[in-house]
């Protein structure tokens, strides 16, 4: 099963790399400079973790966020109002890396490499009414209409997994390589410490 999934992911990647850049049709929005080939997003938790594992550290971001579902800001030791960015920074800290150290959701717009579509383990930054308002969380997958499924803090009183309308997304950002490498190193060190 794992081998067939790996072959499928490799096939999709190769097909995307071979196709000409404009073969996908009329582009409605060229707001991102760094465009990667599109790839299939997974639906189940195990498939999501396996897909995220293709980018070192991305699975750790997602799995760390999922670990805290159902918890309130108070239970996590975070401010109790407007705490989505605090939660993402908390996730990065727990995974062994540094986030943006900002309480602003939009601070994650400059955090890493912008993507043209949601990817498992990427950070989704969404807009809310107001000039600097926003919401941030980690992508787990998409629904049937391409809307991102995001794990985030401050969605109601707890850390929750929810579907967000794709038109509200300002950007999808993959954390910088050095952050992902720090998380992978922290995971290796933790595994060695358990032995």
CB burial readout 158-189, b (16+ within 10 A) else e: ebbbeebebeebbbbbbbeeebbebbbebbee
Of 21 and 160, more confident: 160
Q: Which fold has domain 2-194?
A: endopeptidase fold (from Nostoc punctiforme) (3.90.1720)
Best-predicted range by mean pLDDT among 56-65, 117-126, 127-136, 176-185?
A: 117-126
- What's this model's pTM, rounded to 2 decimal places? 0.68
- Torsions phi, psi of 116, nearest 5? -90, -10
pLDDT recorded at residue 185: 74
The domain locations on the chain are 2-194
């Amino acid at each position: 099963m794992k081998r067939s999934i790996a072959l499928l992911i490799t096939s999709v990647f190769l097909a995307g790399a071979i196709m000409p850049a404009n073969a996908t049709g009329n582009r409605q929005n060229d707001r991102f400079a760094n465009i990667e080939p599109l790839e299939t997003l997974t639906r189940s938790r195990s498939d999501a973790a396996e897909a995220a594992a293709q980018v070192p550290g991305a699975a750790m971001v997602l799995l760390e966020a999922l670990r805290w579902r159902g918890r309130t800001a108070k239970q996590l030791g975070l401010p109790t109002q407007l705490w989505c960015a605090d939660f993402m920074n908390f996730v990065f800290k727990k995974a062994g890396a540094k986030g943006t150290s900002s309480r602003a959701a939009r601070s994650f717009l400059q955090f890493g490499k912008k993507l043209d579509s949601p990817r498992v383990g990427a950070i989704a930054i969404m807009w809310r009414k107001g000039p600097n308002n926003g919401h941030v969380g980690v992508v787990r997958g998409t629904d049937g209409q391409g809307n991102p499924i995001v794990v985030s803090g401050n969605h109601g009183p707890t850390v929750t997994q929810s579907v967000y309308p794709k038109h509200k997304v300002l950007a999808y950002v993959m954390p910088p390589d050095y952050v992902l490498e720090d998380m992978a190193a922290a995971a290796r060190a933790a595994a060695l410490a358990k032995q």
